[in-house]
Chains A and B, each alone.
Chain A
Amino acid sequence: MGMKAKQRLGRIIYHILVCGFGFVMIYPLLWMIMSSFKETSTIFSTASQLIPEKFVLENYSTGWKGFAKVSFATFFKNSLTISIIATIGTVLSSAIVAYGFARCKFKGRRILFVAMLASMMLPAQVLMIPQYLWYQKLGWVGSDLYLPLIVPYWFAIQGFFVYLMINFIDGIPRELDEAAKIDGCSYYGIFRRIILPLITPALITGGIFSFMWRWDDFLSALLYVSNTAKYPVSLALKLFCDPGSSSDYGAMFAMATLSILPAVIIFIFLQKYLVEGISTSGLKG
């Protein structure tokens, strides 16, 4: 065998292996999506076949009806409300805090910066019970306004986003600030007119991650939302697994498929930002 042929064979084997393993990686997702189009009674008897014998949309219509007269339209609306409001808060507050850290020297800056790094290391689960006790005192538990799921995010409590934006602002030449200052711009004006427009990519990256995290958030919904009509999608999906539910697996897979749709859309159209967020600041997808 010649050198060329050998190389070619090597390349073919490489692609077969990488493709094959990639198929294994996304098989669970394909299986879920395909199962949602199968007749619900045949899902497990035909579990080893990927392609449905008969494509049906029935699971989507039965699943959409939801639970106890609350349809999935409501659950999706709730999820969107929470995720969008919390994300706007996260992005705006993180941007201004990052600007303060990156561009201003002030007393206590070091301590505050350490606090921010610590907040990155302090995961939500450690705070689960402490925050619950505190929000209970504030009367936020079970509130239909989603206060515990929204308000904290308006105060830049996720250090990751601040950190991401500090890095970005550091890359903007200070000469721009100086020039604006000479033109009579205040520190706040510089933020609004110069920094904010220039860090748009970081705002988008932060916004995407924040949105996906809020959308997937299950723990705080579990703790703080008690009224079924106010459930976000993540919590509503859990109802399919509860003992005593009718276990309509077709409907369950149909709604689960819809629930990952926002993430998949982001993945397809905004991949550039995702990759950037993960590889520059180690945000977890």
Chain B
Amino acid sequence: MSKKNLTLKQRLNTESTAGVICTLPFTFGFLMFMIVPMFISLYYSFCDYNILSPAQWCGLDNYVKMFQDGRFFKALQVTFYFAFVSVPLRLIFALIVALILLHTTKITGIYRAVYYLPSIIGGSVAVAILWKRMFAMDGVVNNLLGVIGIKTSFSWLGNTSTAIWVLIILAVWQFGSSMLIFLSSLKQIPVSLYEAARVDGANKWQQFWKVTLPLLTPTIHFNLVMQMINGFLAFTQCYIITQGKPMDSTLFYTVYMYEQSFENYNTGYGAAMAWVMLAIVGLITWILFATKKLWVYDEGL
């Protein structure tokens, strides 16, 4: 049968046409809602633009300005600090709790649920405003400290060294979903490996370092990549709880970008910041993948 003789219906029903048609929503969506916006913003990042008046080409001015902007570097520093502290802490917590709750009984199911409930609701505005009140001067944290004998009205959110920790604790509190991922990969490690290790005289501690941890490295790597990206881009919690205060000590990159674009109307500058952020996130992802072979075990069981 030559192609010409096919009816439209038959032509639509070939494997390759069906593939193209079925994936068409994504093709269109990807172009319309990701590629086009990125290129428009690339153009505006070379412009002096403030939404209200027409854009004026200014070349690399926005990027040059960034390198002279102290608050830009402050935001970078805060964001790196937040991501590099909160993500590893969260993963360590998740792994420890996963190991503790590994043996399945009826009651550990309930424990697991309790531990991962926070990560289900942790991203909501409700939790953000709750957190803000908990660490307020008359909040529950100071009150509970009073109960155990430490009378204080310390301003956790007003101090440049503790405010960021309020956000870090909130991030670490949501370790539950990483815990579940660890649990499911822990269950896939064959018991025979532990038995072999025991026969060779390895104690529990050695078993963990020589068997469990190496076999978990692919999971850890996956978690690290996804959470680093998200850690760099936390917005809601910071925007509601601290808004970058005090003295920019919690000024997240995304919050600063928002402030520049929508409060100071330096939209061109904001667009440039978005591109720099994309470059940074890309670089970190690349580093995580490039260093993968140094510490991730992927030879199978």
- A residues near B, CB below 8 A? 14-15, 18-19, 22, 25-26, 28-29, 31-32, 44, 47-48, 93, 96-97, 99-101, 103-109, 112, 115-116, 119, 121-134, 136-137, 152, 154-157, 162, 186-188, 191, 212, 215-216, 218-219, 222-223, 233-235, 237-238, 240-241, 249, 252-253, 256-257, 259-260, 263-264, 266-267, 271, 274-275, 278-280, 282-285
Contacts and interface: CB of A to CB of B under 8 A. Distances in A.
B177 A285 contact: yes
User: What does DSSP make chain A's interface, helix, strand, loop or mixed?
Assistant: helix
Contacts of A154: 25, 29
Interface of B: 12-13, 15-23, 25-30, 32-34, 36-38, 40-41, 44, 51, 100-101, 107, 111, 113-127, 129-134, 136, 138-140, 143-144, 146-147, 173-174, 176-177, 180-181, 183-184, 222-223, 226, 229-230, 233, 235-236, 239-240, 254, 257-258, 261-262, 267, 270-271, 273-274, 277-278, 281, 285
Nearest to A50: B140
Contact of A282 (B119, B126, B226): B226
A15 B105 CA distance: 12
Contacts of B16: 104-107
Nearest to B285: A121
Contacts of B111: 18-19, 22
9 contacts: A25-B115, A96-B22, A106-B16, A129-B274, A157-B34, A188-B13, A219-B236, A260-B126, A284-B119
B26 A93 contact: yes
B180 A126 contact: no
Contacts of A279: 180-181, 183-184
B184 A284 contact: no
A156 B129 contact: no
A219 B261 CA distance: 14
Contacts of B229: 121, 123
B26 A278 contact: no
A107 B20 CA distance: 8
B180 A278 contact: yes
A181 to B, nearest CB: 10
Given A100-B22, A130-B38, A134-B36, A22 B115 contact: yes
Contacts of B226: 282, 284
Given A31-B140, A129-B271, A112 B23 contact: yes
Contacts of A259: 124-126
Contact of A128 (B34, B258, B281): B258
